[in-house]
Structure 1
Amino acid sequence: MKNVSGVTLFTLSGLDFKLEHRITLFFLTLLGLYGTVGFYPKFLLDLLSSHVISYAGCMLQGYVIHSSICSDFSILALMAYDRYVAICRPLVYHSVMTKQRIFFFVLLTWFLPLICMFMNTASLLGVRLCGLHIKKIYCVNWMIVALACSPLKANTAIAYFNIMFYFGHFLFILWSYVHLIRTCRSSKEKWGKFMQTCLPHFISLIAFSTAVLLDLLYMRFGSANFSQNLFNFMAIEFLLIPPMVNPLVYGFSLTKVRTIHNPHDSRYPSSDNSSAIAFQQP
């Protein structure tokens, strides 16, 4: 090994792979940072300085946080569909979940939330406000609506459409799990594999959905007499509880979905493609 002195730069040789792989990893990492960037930098800054935010900054923060939450629901729904096809319809898995279709589905899980939340945020632009104080540690659209001088019918309609749209995601996931449970109850082996592969996803879904629902209900229907500390906890519990639960849930030894069937049996195709979705939990 050649002796080198005066070194100021190093080469990260672990990144020596194809450009298309770099681009894929770049966007996966960027999506992972998207929601956290919308909250944590401003939150940390507010703890050490005056907690004010511009109107444009408030709009942007609300948009990023809302769209990030909705994309998490979309990814959970896509994971549920992937596992439903792999377990309940294994013979057609490869014809249904092709690499091109998986890429398209993953793209939709981000494109649709961005569009839905853009419509919600756009309906607030130029609204006349009769207040300056947001009783929350970050900006969300509903708190701006509460400061409006007059009712915002367009925003209300869009907001309830989005709520029903993503509630439909939740119902779809429950429907897929009904079929998964019916399929896996036929044998102890299948049921054991279901507990290893699908139960962690379901627990993650319940934890995330419950946290978001509590914040949504408290924000819209909570009493003004409740303490600010309780209000702050309800505001950030969906940012704290799921990330605490997910490592515990997914940290257990998980078996791939395709091992529910005998991997040596040619009647059942392997589900290697499912791993691209199965481990993109929010």
Structure 2
Amino acid sequence: MWISIPFCLIYTIIFPGNGIILHIIRIDSSLHQPMYYFLAMPAFVELGVSAPTMPTVLSIFLFGINDVSFGGCLLQMFSMHSFTLMESGYLLAMSVDRFVAIYSPLPYTTILTIACISGMGAAIALRSVMLMLPLLFLLRRLPFCGHNTLTHSYCLHSDLIKLPCGDTRPNSILALFVVTFTFGLDLLFIVVSYVLILHTVLEIASGAGQWRALNTCVSHICVVLVYYVPMVSLSLMHRFGRHLPPLFQTVTANAYLFFPPVVNPIVYSIKIEEIRNSVVLTLSRKRGEF
């Protein structure tokens, strides 16, 4: 029971933390700008990643319930992976936003209109769902026999694919394609966008101007690292670390699940002054009402 306390605390940080970011951006008209709309996307996705995992994680540590139905497991896997793919796409969209803001600051708001941002968000969400649906159907057709024990406290595709006693090669090939087409390409384009950003910044004459331009990208770079480092670590562990102690595997899996949703609101609040000031002002008003 004692280990359930930190997990409950983590969830109480994730939902209010990301919820406050979304609420602040919604109610504060000064934040109705492309940059903050792009910030709202990962905050929404973090809620989408965390909500499907909460029932199994807390039921294990609070009540010792270690069983999950096959349908429930597939639904959890589909939801969590779909939102994870969306987050990768939204991080790419944020890097495009930073490039446009630095390369073309004057027509920035006319290029990234609300319609353009909405279209990008919808396209990324559709891409994620369409890529995950075939994996879902391929898993349903496989025979599961014997004692089906998952490694983690939530259903992960790379964990589920170890359990069937049938041919899982189509699943593995499709999963590799999905990872390459989303995480691989997104990360590649993020790197390219930052190469272009750095080239643009170096053309700015004054050192103060260069620093101001780069400072607008710091929070996004932190979020990218917070997202990709645990994900790559977990992928490498599933591929090469089967001999590692179970405790290490559990810690890595939980870091992948909990680290980004907990850290991202803190990064936004610390590094983005407008978000921080708006949060402080809103909380002060709420305290005054009481």
Q: Which category describes the TM-score, using the shorter chain as reference length?
A: 0.7 to 0.9
Evaluate the alpha carbon distance shift between residue 134 and residue 208 of structure 1 in structure 2; reply closer, same or farther with a 3 A threshold: same
**8 A contact 1:196–1:255 mirrored in 2:** no
Matched residue SS, 2:85: helix
Shift of 1:221: 2.1
1:212 to 214, 220, 231: 231
Confirm or deny that 1:177 pairs with 2:194: yes
- What is the aligned partner in structure 2 of residue 73 from structure 1? 88
Q: Distance in 1 between the 2:272 and 2:163 partners? A: 47
1:37 to 51, 59, 63: 51
- What is the aligned partner in structure 1 of residue 257 from structure 2? 239
- What is the aligned partner in structure 2 of residue 275 from structure 1? none
Shift of 1:159: 0.5
Evaluate the alpha carbon distance shift between residue 74 and residue 84 of structure 1 in structure 2; reply closer, same or farther with a 3 A threshold: same
Shift of 1:59: 0.6
**8 A contact 1:70–1:113 mirrored in 2:** yes
Shift of 1:230: 0.9
Confirm or deny that 1:154 pairs with 2:179: no
**8 A contact 1:71–1:113 mirrored in 2:** yes
The letter of the residue matching 1:178 is V
Shift of 1:72: 0.9
The letter of the residue matching 2:173 is A
TM alignment of 1:73-92, pairs within 5 A: 73-90=88-105, 92=107
Shift of 1:135: 1.7
Shift of 1:124: 0.9
- What is the aligned partner in structure 2 of residue 141 from structure 1? 157
Evaluate the alpha carbon distance shift between residue 175 and residue 221 of structure 1 in structure 2; reply closer, same or farther with a 3 A threshold: same
Shift of 1:143: 1.9
Evaluate the alpha carbon distance shift between residue 234 and residue 157 of structure 1 in structure 2; reply closer, same or farther with a 3 A threshold: same
Question: Which one has the bigger helix percentage?
Answer: 2
* TM-score, normalization by structure 1: 0.74
Shift of 1:92: 4.7
**8 A contact 2:201–2:214 mirrored in 1:** no
Evaluate the alpha carbon distance shift between residue 248 and residue 34 of structure 1 in structure 2; reply closer, same or farther with a 3 A threshold: closer
Evaluate the alpha carbon distance shift between residue 254 and residue 136 of structure 1 in structure 2; reply closer, same or farther with a 3 A threshold: closer
Shift of 1:238: 1.6
Which runs of no fewer than 5 residues in structure 1 stay unpaired? 1-14, 17-23, 257-282
Evaluate the alpha carbon distance shift between residue 190 and residue 44 of structure 1 in structure 2; reply closer, same or farther with a 3 A threshold: same
**8 A contact 1:84–1:177 mirrored in 2:** yes
Q: Name the % identity.
A: 25
Q: Distance in 1 between the 2:110 and 2:167 partners? A: 49
Shift of 1:192: 1.6
**8 A contact 2:223–2:260 mirrored in 1:** yes
- What is the aligned partner in structure 2 of residue 107 from structure 1? 122
Q: Is the deviation greater in 199-208 or in 85-94?
A: 85-94
The letter of the residue matching 1:58 is C
Shift of 1:111: 1.6
1:229 to 230, 235, 247: 247
Q: Is the deviation greater in 88-97 or in 171-180?
A: 88-97
Evaluate the alpha carbon distance shift between residue 30 and residue 201 of structure 1 in structure 2; reply closer, same or farther with a 3 A threshold: closer
Which runs of no fewer than 5 residues in structure 2 stay unpaired? 1-25, 28-36, 275-290
The letter of the residue matching 2:160 is I
RMSD value, Cα: 2.5
* TM-score, normalization by structure 2: 0.73
Evaluate the alpha carbon distance shift between residue 89 and residue 255 of structure 1 in structure 2; reply closer, same or farther with a 3 A threshold: farther
Q: Distance in 2 between the 1:98 and 1:246 partners? A: 25
Shift of 1:75: 0.8
Q: Distance in 2 between the 1:170 and 1:250 partners? A: 21
Q: Distance in 1 between the 2:195 and 2:273 partners? A: 20
Q: Distance in 2 between the 1:96 and 1:195 partners? A: 21
- What is the aligned partner in structure 2 of residue 268 from structure 1? none
Confirm or deny that 1:188 pairs with 2:207: yes
Shift of 1:137: 1.5
Evaluate the alpha carbon distance shift between residue 254 and residue 189 of structure 1 in structure 2; reply closer, same or farther with a 3 A threshold: farther
**8 A contact 2:226–2:260 mirrored in 1:** yes
**8 A contact 2:102–2:197 mirrored in 1:** yes
- What is the aligned partner in structure 1 of residue 30 from structure 2? none
CA offsets per residue over residues 51-78 of structure 1, 9 Å max, x none?
A: 1001111111111111121111111111
